[in-house]
């Protein structure tokens, strides 16, 4: 049972975490104008560039996380990505009433997602991942240390 959980849990966690990024990226593509208008309402400039970067980052990051490819690096990058995104788009302290509650919930949701990503960063992709499949190949390419300096003369 424990081995099954150790195998399934990281895959399930990665799939659930990747879902928010994939859905968000696709949503931005499907509603480019609405996404651009929302970014403009937050005072951002270079919106087409930033929106394109956000879409690429969310889709590529979500797919890599789902597949378990470069999982630790991607999880850390996505967690760091959430910092400015959360501060800019969910600044709940600038709102009043119900909108403040909604933005606070989104702020806290992003913190929770970042927490999950930190777990993935710390513990890796798990067994059902491309990273795990590549392990033996990477281990074969391991570089061994070569001593520096002069060799000691052999004793006669």
> What pLDDT was estimated at residue 3?
80
> What pLDDT was estimated at residue 150?
65
Structure tokens at 103: 């933005």
Q: 133 is in which domain, residue-wise?
A: 2-138
Q: Which helix (H) or strand (E) holds 35?
A: helix 32-41
> What pLDDT was estimated at residue 152?
63
Residue 62 lies in a domain: yes
Residue 13 lies in a domain: yes
Q: How many domains is the chain built from? A: 1
pLDDT band at 1 (very low <50, low <70, confident <90, very high): confident
pTM of the model: 0.81
DSSP result, 67-116: HTSSHHHHHHHHHHHHHHHHHHH--GGG--HHHHHHHHHHHHHHHHHHHH
pLDDT in tens, 110-153: 999 999 999 999 998 888 899 888 887 555 455 455 556 666 66
pLDDT band at 15 (very low <50, low <70, confident <90, very high): very high
Residue 148 lies in a domain: no
pLDDT in tens, 38-72: 999 999 999 999 999 999 999 999 999 999 999 99
CA–CA gap between residue 61 and residue 87 (Å, rounded): 20
């Amino acid at each position: 049972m424990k081995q099954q959980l150790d195998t399934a849990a990281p895959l399930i966690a990665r799939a659930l975490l990747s879902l928010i990024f994939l859905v968000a990226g696709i949503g931005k593509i499907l509603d480019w104008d609405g996404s651009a208008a929302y970014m403009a309402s937050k005072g951002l400039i270079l919106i087409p560039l930033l929106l394109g970067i956000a879409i690429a980052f969310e889709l590529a990051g979500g797919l890599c996380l789902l597949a378990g490819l470069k999982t630790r690096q991607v999880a850390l990058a996505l967690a760091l990505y959430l910092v400015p995104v959360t501060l800019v788009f969910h600044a709940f302290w600038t709102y009043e009433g119900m909108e403040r509650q909604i933005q606070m919930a989104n702020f806290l949701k992003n913190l929770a997602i970042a927490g999950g990503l930190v777990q993935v960063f710390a513990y890796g992709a798990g067994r059902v991942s491309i990273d795990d499949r590549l392990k033996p190949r990477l281990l074969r390419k391991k570089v061994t240390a070569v001593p520096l300096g002069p060799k000691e003369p052999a004793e006669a």
